[in-house]
Each structure stands twice: as structure tokens, then as C-alpha cells.
Amino acid sequence: DNESNPHVAIAAVDRYQAAICFDAAARMVRRSPALGRKLEVLDSRKRIIAAAVDGRLEALSADAEQKEGLNLSFAVFDEKHA
């Protein structure tokens, strides 16, 4: 939607669950030549970067130290009930 600096979060109860969701997104990028031209996967940081729009998708977990103050464009919650 042409938003500048979009920030998408994959949120889960713990790092393991967040990593499962992130890995699925990373596989989509790697399997699509069109996405691969626009996005960079940073596995070690559980982050996908869209440099052209200064955007990012990142995996967050409830056991992460800093989650407050985020200005999210979109969020995916895994097991919100947990």
C-alpha cells in the first residue's frame, strides 16, 4: 500500500514458535524469484528486509526483552490464546 518504513511482526509465545513462523515466511521468499529480488532474508536475526521501502518483517516472542513502543503495520500472532 506504498507505506514507507512498514514494520511487520510475527509474534509467538517463545522463540521456537516464532522461528517456525519466520522460517515459513523465509521459505516463501527463497522459492519466489519475484520476492527474492525485493526482499533479503537475515536468518540469524529472524528478519526479512525490504530495502526499497525501508521495511522489515521480524519474529518476536513473549520472552524477548523489548516489545513495547513498536509501531506495527501488521502483526501475525501464533497461538494468541497461550
Per-residue pLDDT tens digits for 4-55? 899 999 988 888 999 999 999 999 999 999 999 999 999 999 999 999 999 9
Q: What is the DSSP string of 8-64?
A: EEEEESSHHHHHHHHHHHHHHHHH-HHHHHH-EEEGGGTEEEEGGGTEEEEEEETTS
Q: Are 14 and 62 in contact (CB under 8 A)?
A: yes
What's the pTM value of the predicted model, to 2 decimals? 0.84
